[in-house]
Amino acid sequence: MKFAIFGNVRKQALNDVLLLLLQRLNGSGMEYALDDALLPIVADHPELCGPGRIAPREKCLDGAAMLIALGGDGTILAAARTVGTRGIPILGVNLGKLGFLAELAPEELEKALKNIFNRKYAVEERLVLEAQCGQLPGRSMFAVNDIVVNKFRSSRVIDLETEIDGAFAVTYRCDGLIISTPTGSTAYALSNGGPIVTPTSSVLGITPISPHTLSGRPLIVPDTSIVRVIAHAEKDEILLSADGQEEAVLPPPAEITIRKANHTVRLVKRTDRSYFDVLRAKLQWGKDARNTRG
């Protein structure tokens, strides 16, 4: 079994976790390829990782059965973009703060590796969004969390005419619009009043950002839906972004079409923890503040 290893070099905890990971992989006789961005960390430890195991990020994925991403959710989203349509499962180790996508805390890594070596883990398929725009010919933007149509360099609201499967739905007058996957329901959409959606649900979320009408409410549609957004603004440019990692500035009126992509992202999951365990731990979901003394 070969592993590809990516990491966020800006995380202070990366050094210790990466060295521990390499020790365990070497001790088990597993193959691995290390992203060359991590070379400064292992340069002083040639006994752990020789030059033959260090490669450019894309090359690390050749023949890999699993990708281990060390960092926060942003690291995992970036890893998913690199994996693309290859279908390589991603195991996230959280070195950040909330870490909704990351399956493990650093102290859980050793036990999880033993289970992985023994093939005791699950792989969960997560929906990916694809956005296309006539002003970006031949280009698609992909997102695990969300596609966001936003105003750019202005404090004024914009009008976002929204169609579902060719039928006019509503025009949101707001600061922007979030089209989210179930995975992304606990990201930007949640902070704007969207619902929590279990990650394997077959739906898309449409959530306005700071709507200027009381009737501007979030909407849930089937994941087979094709969402078309026409962004109107007088002079303001429109910002189209995918997972906050890929962006394009568009002149209005901008027409964006969002649909389910033909590929998914595969996340490695523990078999002894449910999604609702994660909600309770990460969001203190269901906790009654009245039971806590100040």
User: Same domain for 28 and 94?
Assistant: yes
Q: List, in order, residues 6 or more apart from 219 with CB less than 8 Å away.
A: 169, 170, 205, 206, 207
pLDDT tens readout for residues 97-130: 777 898 899 999 999 999 999 999 999 999 999 9
Catalytic annotation present for 272: no
User: Same domain for 236 and 138?
Assistant: yes
Distance CA 117, CA 203 (A): 34
Question: Which residues constitute the domain of residue 191?
Answer: 128-262
- Number of domains observed in the structure of the chain: 2
Distance CA 153, CA 150 (A): 10
Distance CA 6, CA 95 (A): 12
The predicted structure's pLDDT at residue 50: 74
pLDDT tens readout for residues 122-142: 999 999 999 999 999 999 999
| Least confident span in 42-51, 117-126, 156-165 | 42-51
Question: What's the whole-model pTM score?
Answer: 0.92
Residue type, 76: I
User: Same domain for 155 and 176?
Assistant: yes
User: Same domain for 144 and 71?
Assistant: no
User: Same domain for 156 and 56?
Assistant: no
User: Same domain for 99 and 216?
Assistant: no
CATH classification at residue 254: 2.60.200.30
pLDDT tens readout for residues 178-202: 999 999 999 999 999 999 999 999 9
User: Same domain for 21 and 108?
Assistant: yes
User: Same domain for 142 and 235?
Assistant: yes
pLDDT tens readout for residues 229-267: 999 987 778 999 999 999 999 999 999 999 999 999 999
CATH classification at residue 94: 3.40.50.10330
User: Same domain for 81 and 203?
Assistant: no
User: Same domain for 77 and 13?
Assistant: yes
User: Same domain for 133 and 58?
Assistant: no
Q: 215 is written with which tokens? A: 């009737």
Candidate list 35, 62, 73, 243, residue with the active-site label? 73
User: Same domain for 245 and 274?
Assistant: no
Distance CA 128, CA 109 (A): 27
